[in-house]
Structure 1
């Protein structure tokens, strides 16, 4: 079983796109897969309860199929930082609680398991703990998703430094092109990628361009075409 924690340089960096793409790629290699989103805010109300589109996307790429409550045990409606959303409903998620919840899914030892965080590495889980504490508790290597835009060099380098300072390994990074002013034909864009490759000191798992696919499953499949699985050594 290979498990990783997926974090991003910022909110909307593309964590779910990259994570679902990696899971889709693993499925192509006939691996069992599991994508977990322990805490999610910005959830929608459904007949089955609160549902988060990112968690649903990960659920769709999890094989064998997995109940939503396993994928996303802490779901909140407000589209704000998770610790603030939890406060609004009188809850306080903790690293201990999250670690207990993911213990059973991790014990299934699927071929690839990804645990996706919320926002960036230092997003608070409660007033005393960061969500990164879950990765630390589980001693998971980290995949860093870099939202490719103006300012990404600083965000990416600081994130990688923080991950390593906390004692975890950056198993790889993936870029996700989110700035419409960036183009693969642009010299500045290419220079940014070269700087990331030189300074992050971790394997590049791929660069996901802007995609035309309009459904989560199609986007996962399209992203998989631009990614490679991390080395589990």
Structure 2
């Protein structure tokens, strides 16, 4: 089994798109798949429950199918930091509870599975815990999605440093072009490839319709460590 924690250098860098594309690749290889988005902020009330578009995207790539509540156990309406959304609704978020929900899915034994964070590596869950601690408790290798835009080199290298300082293995990283007008894009990617001591799983160009199928053409599942 190959299970990973997917994080990003910031919010809106394409974590879900990349995670869903990796799941799609795994399915194309004949593997069973599973995904967890433990906490999502920015949801709509549909058929009696709060649902999140990112979680729905991940759910669509799970095989065998998973119930929505398994994929996204905690959902908030407002598209804001999870700890703020939780405080506004009088809800307590904890690493213990989110880890329990994540393990329930991972324990089903999918060949390839991802647990996707929210925002970047140090996003708070409360005044005392962060999502980084969830990755630590789950002890999963990490996939870092780098949003290629101005400032991405600093964000990427700081994220890599934090992941490793927290004792986790960086299994690979993805360069995802979120700003098509990024100056010296190739030079930025070359810099990251030289300075990040982990495999580059793919370079995804700016796509107007970033579907899992479209993104999967730019990713290499076999580059991840440990390999599937």
**TM above 0.5:** yes
Which of 204, 221, 228 is equivalent to 1:208?
Answer: 204
Shift of 1:122: 0.3
**Residue 231 of structure 1 corresponds to which residue in structure 2?**
225
Cα distance in 1 between the residues matched to 2:129 and 2:137: 12
Paired residues of 2:35 and 2:105 also in contact (CA < 8 A):
no
TM value normalised by structure 1: 0.94
Query: Quick check: 163-172 or 40-49, which moved more?
Result: 40-49
**Residue 186 of structure 2 corresponds to which residue in structure 1?**
190
Shift of 1:127: 1.1
**Residue 107 of structure 2 corresponds to which residue in structure 1?**
107
Ranges of 4+ aligned residues in structure 1 off by more than 4 Å = none
**Residue 220 of structure 1 corresponds to which residue in structure 2?**
212
**Residue 126 of structure 2 corresponds to which residue in structure 1?**
126
Count matched residues.
225
Paired residues of 1:2 and 1:109 also in contact (CA < 8 A):
no
Shift of 1:209: 1.1
**Residue 44 of structure 1 corresponds to which residue in structure 2?**
44
Shift of 1:231: 3.2
1:123-202 equivalence runs, <5 A: 123-182=123-182, 188-202=184-198
Cα distance in 2 between the residues matched to 1:127 and 1:213: 37
Cα distance in 2 between the residues matched to 1:48 and 1:164: 41
Cα distance in 2 between the residues matched to 1:48 and 1:9: 33
Is 1:94 the counterpart of 2:88? The answer is no
Shift of 1:211: 1.7
Cα distance in 2 between the residues matched to 1:37 and 1:76: 12
> Could you give the per-residue CA deviations for residues 32-80 of structure 1, whole angstroms, max 9, x where no partner exists?
0111100000111112310000000000000000000000000000110
Cα distance in 1 between the residues matched to 2:48 and 2:207: 30
TM value normalised by structure 2: 0.96
**Residue 4 of structure 1 corresponds to which residue in structure 2?**
4
> Could you give the per-residue CA deviations for residues 190-214 of structure 1, whole angstroms, max 9, x where no partner exists?
1100000011111000011122337
Other structure's SS at 1:10 match? coil
